[in-house]
Amino acid sequence: MASTATDLIIDADAHVVESDHTWDYLDPLDRQYRPQPLESREDAGVKLQFWLIDGKVRGFRFPAFSAEELERRSHQVGRKFADVKESREMGNVDLRIEYMDQSGVDIQVLHNTMFIESATERAPVEVALCKSWNRWLADIWRQGKGRLRWSCMAPTLSMTDALDQIRFAKENGACAVLMRPVEGTRLLADPYFYPVYDEAQKLDMAIAVHIANGSAWLNDLYRHPVPIAATLHRFRIPTVAAFNDVLLSEIPHQFPKLRWGFVEASAQWLPWVLHEAKNRFKTLGREWRDNIAREYRMFVTCENSDDLPYIVNEAGEDCLVVGTDYGHTDISSDIDAIKLFRQRTDLPEHVKRKILSDNARALYAI
C-alpha cells in the first residue's frame, strides 16, 4: 500500500455480490435453507436474477448484464461500473486488490447485497444465512490480508445469535454491524436493538446503516407504477429518516461511544435534516452545537454529484466519508468515485483528506 498509516485512503462503501459459493459455509443442518439462484431468460443483454429462499423469492439481486450492455449503460450515465464478475463476487480476491491498487484505495469496507431487502421472517433461516455470509466474509478478509474490512450481518430475529455473530465478526475483520433502516416491523430507535448497540460499542464497532429496507410489506408497497422512482421510497428515504430518528433519540447519550455510518443515500439531504433537528432540539430542551453530527458520532457517505462545498459549510467537514459502491450498477455506483474525488478543486486539500481518510478511520476504527 502506498499510503502511510495516517492517511489511508478508505472506500467507505464497497460491496460483495453474493453467489452460490456464499452458501457453501452453511452448517450441515442448515443446508435445507440454502438459497437457490434463479434466472429469467436473457433479453437485450439483461438477465433478471433472483434468490429462492425458504420457498419464496426474497432478498435483493441485481440483473446480470452482458459486457456490451454494461458498457452501454456506463456510457449512458457517465459512470464506470465494476465489469469483472470474479471481482464483484469475490471469486478472485486478488482481482479486487488489483483494482484497489490501480485506484489508490488502501482499504475497502464491504457491505452485503442480498440483505438490502428482507430475506426471511423466520429466525432459523435468518440465523443460518447470516452465519454463512459472515463466514464467507471472514474468509475474504483473511485472503485480503487486512485490506478488505466488512460489516457483519446480525440475525436480529434471534438476539442471542445476533450477539454471537457480532463477536465472531469482530474476531474476523469486521469493523461494523450492518443495520437496515427498517428491520421487520421495527425502526432503529426501538429499544429492542439496544443489545446490538451495546455489544457494538463494547467491541469498538460502528453501526453501518446502509440503504436498505428490511420490511417485505414496505418493499411490496413501494413497487409502484414508476419503477425508477421506487428506490427513493424503498431505500434512501428510510435511511434519511433513520439518521433523524437516531439524532433525536436518547441513543447518542445511552451509547456515548457508539459510531454510526449512514451509507449510500448521498449527503445532499444532510443540511435539511440538521436544520429540522435544530428546531426540534429547542422543543426537547437540548443544546445544539454546529458540529452536532460529529459530536454524536454520526457519519454520512457523500457522492461526487453532491454540492459538497455547501454541505461542508452547513454540516461541517468532520462527518463525511466517501465510497465507490463497487460491485453495484445503480445510481450511486462509480468505481472511479474516489479517483474523481481526489481531483476536485472546489474543496481544500485538508477537507478532502478528512473525507478520504481521517473521518473514515474514525468511523470504522481503522
- What is the rounded distance in angstroms from the CA atom of residue 342 to the CA atom of residue 195? 39
- What is the rounded distance in angstroms from the CA atom of residue 342 to the CA atom of residue 22? 34
- What is the rounded distance in angstroms from the CA atom of residue 22 to the CA atom of residue 89? 9
Count Cβ atoms below 10 Å from residue 277 Cβ, excluding itself.
18
Residue 29's region, left for phi above 0, alpha for psi from -120 to 50, else beta, is alpha
Nearest partner of 139 among 53, 31, 16, judged by Cα: 16
DSSP letters, 80-129, are -----HHHHTTS-HHHHHHHHHHHT-SEEEEE-SGGGB---S-HHHHHHH
DSSP letters, 190-219, are SGGGHHHHHHHHHTT-EEEEES-BB-HHHH
Q: Could you read off the pLDDT of 161-183 as tens digits, one per residue?
A: 999 999 999 999 999 999 999 99
Q: Which domains does the chain carry?
A: 10-15+90-364 (3.20.20.140)
Convert 284-296 into a string of H (helix), E (strand) and C (coil): HCCCCCCCHHHHC
What is the CA 199 to chain-centroid distance, rounded? Answer: 19
- The contacts of residue 227 (CB under 8 Å, 6+ apart) are none
What is the CA 64 to chain-centroid distance, rounded? Answer: 21
- What is the rounded distance in angstroms from the CA atom of residue 116 to the CA atom of residue 210? 8
For the chain, residues with pLDDT lower than 70 are 1-6, 70, 79-80, 83
pTM for the full predicted model: 0.94
Pair 359, 9: CB distance under 8 Å: no
Count Cβ atoms below 10 Å from residue 343 Cβ, excluding itself.
10
What local confidence, expressed as pLDDT, does residue 221 receive? 86
Buried b (16+ CB within 10 A) or exposed e, 79-101: bbbbeeeebbbbeebebbbebbe
